[in-house]
A and B are shown apart, each in its own frame.
Chain A
Amino acid sequence: MTLPTLDDNLGTEGDTVYAALMTAHEGLSESESHALNARLVLILANEIGDRSRLEELFAAARAAGRR
């Protein structure tokens, strides 16, 4: 699988979305945050819904962590 380069989809809302994600974690313990992240990944995966696209995204996330 060739790793995709992920272009921006958020436009001018990028900072707002990022801040909203931080807010979603506000006041949670580390383990509660991990659990929230797991739920988010599952929810977002369902929103994307396309198996081969998801496999590309999983690979891209894993590759970026190796740098």
Chain B
Amino acid sequence: MAYAYTPFPYSPPPGLTAPEPRHPVVIVGAGPIGLSMAVDLALRGVKSVVLDDNNVVSLGSRAICWANRTLEIFDRLGIGERMLAKGVTWKVGRQFHGDREVYNFDLLPEPGHKYPAFVNLQQYYIEQYLVERAQDFPDLIDLRFLNKVTDHKGHADHVELTIETPDGPYRLETDWYIACDGAGSATRKRMALPFEGQTFDEHFLIADVEMETSPFGNHNTPERWFWFAPPFHNGQSALLHKQPDNIYRIDLQLGPETDPKAEATEEKVVPRVKQMLGDAPFRLDWMSVYKFHCARLEKFVHDRVIFVGDSAHVVSPFGARGGNGGVQDVDNLGWKLAAVVRGEAQPSLIESYDIERGHAADENMRNSARATNFMTPKTPIEALFRDEVLNLAADHPFARKLINSGRLSQPCSLAHSPLQTSGDAPLEPGSALLDAPLRGPAGETWMVQEAQGAFTLLAIGNITPPELPGIARIGINQNVSDYPCFSDPDGYATRRYGSERLYLLRPDGHVCASFDHADSAAIKAAHARATGACS
């Protein structure tokens, strides 16, 4: 059934009648990124005001593919299990050339993870769940719908905002202004910041259809199906995904010579969908015709204005690196901003967000641009090589690996970050943590539930993590009582992390250092480096 869009309540903000005291954090935009940011900060006791010019969740499904690492972050924020329960879980992608399958990939072949490779769930559910989660923190998160920021002015240590409401304008001041206002960021435009990259000429149609009969035919397990030269569509590519509520996402490549207004009509879309799905009855739920860009801001941090998510960087949708990249931005920024707001770190720590997530944005853009170039060859010779890769793929495994319909979102390594301490370990410093099933005094649990959110020393096997200020401890395969200890019932933790080893995990779940003996001085130095103290 179609999603019921219920408007969120508006109430006149206090600033309309009397000046408000300066806020520590104002978040502009109540999409998945802005709301995640507010929840992350609230979990660290930091107050924020969230401003949005609208009062309903995202119209249309938009971002639907949530990657394993993102789900682990959402677990920490408190909506991961709800997403898993509602969403469609998948891990296999199949690629077709014409009507012949040429290659399939399994994104998470090994068990021992709380979350699957991907959960498909419409963006409007994510936003609804995050708004409801934000309401768990009435003293920390001040959600203000129908509050449109019309102007802002940056100063060295604060930002002034002018906001329009149904009851007129008011002003706010904030120590930190977090721009989560999306790809068309009004904040970015007001600051006239160049947003440069690559634009692709090709138009794509997105259509969500609701139907009882599965377009995946006899395949009962939902997957990601991608066609080059599909037999049912006179275009270069097509993509099919399943969402909850019997809604299927269809992407069709329409070519560069397309009139987007004429194409985004039922008269044009219904026949295209029928060609693909046959005579089975369906309801058109949402459609959009778009071109895409890969672009980024040169810097994500401009004094007290910080860009997060699509306002900072956009990619093509093939690879699911937009929404996932944005949530990973939040994961990276949340603990740093909270530490600065609480006076536990210097504002310069925020610069490491720019370095680390700038690096990730480059990686996401590179992968997304390569996939897009493969799918939309720009010259006859690019088209020739693409077609011959597909022809070779029928018989030769090497060519199957070259088929690129999107390299799906993976957490970016932080190995080159100045916050890292390098070293050799089974899980290399810079990597995101790997989940593993654990058993503790309170029963079955997971690494992602026990080791995220704060600096944590993870000790595996016969090695004692020293007690140090500001660092939590957990033990695996140990019999100690003054910090939480777990057993490793199926051996996944030991296989993934090794044994007789300490890992220092950052609050965003990345390994920032690893040690083969309990050297307190070295651990303190790594912790100091990771919190922005000079190394």
Q: Which residues of A contact B (CB under 8 A)?
A: 34-35, 38-39, 41-43, 46
Contact = CB atoms under 8 A, between A and B. Distances in A.
Contacts of A38: 384-385, 388
A35 B389 contact: no
B390 to A, nearest CB: 11
B387 interface: yes
Given A39-B392, A43-B392, A34 B384 contact: yes
Nearest to B380: A34
A42 B387 contact: no
Contacts of B399: 42, 46
* Residue among B384, B387, B388, B399 facing the most chain A CB atoms (10 A cut-off): B388
22 contacts: A34-B384, A35-B384, A35-B387, A35-B388, A35-B391, A38-B384, A38-B385, A38-B388, A39-B388, A39-B391, A39-B392, A41-B385, A42-B385, A42-B388, A42-B389, A42-B392, A42-B399, A42-B402, A43-B392, A43-B396, A46-B398, A46-B399
A35 B389 CA distance: 10
Interface in B212-243: none
A41 B392 CA distance: 12
Interface in B349-399: 384-385, 387-389, 391-392, 396, 398-399
Majority-rule SS of B interface residues: helix
A43 to B, nearest CB: 7
Interface of B: 384-385, 387-389, 391-392, 396, 398-399, 402
Given A39-B388, A42-B388, 11 more contacts: A34-B384, A35-B384, A35-B391, A38-B384, A38-B385, A39-B392, A41-B385, A42-B399, A42-B402, A43-B392, A46-B398
A46 B395 CA distance: 14
A42 B385 CA distance: 8
B384 to A, nearest CB: 5
A28 B391 CA distance: 17
Contacts of B384: 34-35, 38
Contacts of A35: 384, 387-388, 391
Contacts of B391: 35, 39
Nearest to B386: A38
A46 B400 CA distance: 12
A39 B402 CA distance: 12
Contacts of B398: 46
Contacts of A41: 385
A16 B305 CA distance: 68
Contacts of A39: 388, 391-392
A35 B391 CA distance: 10
Contacts of A43: 392, 396
B272 to A, nearest CB: 30
Nearest to A45: B398
Contacts of A42: 385, 388-389, 392, 399, 402
Nearest to B397: A46
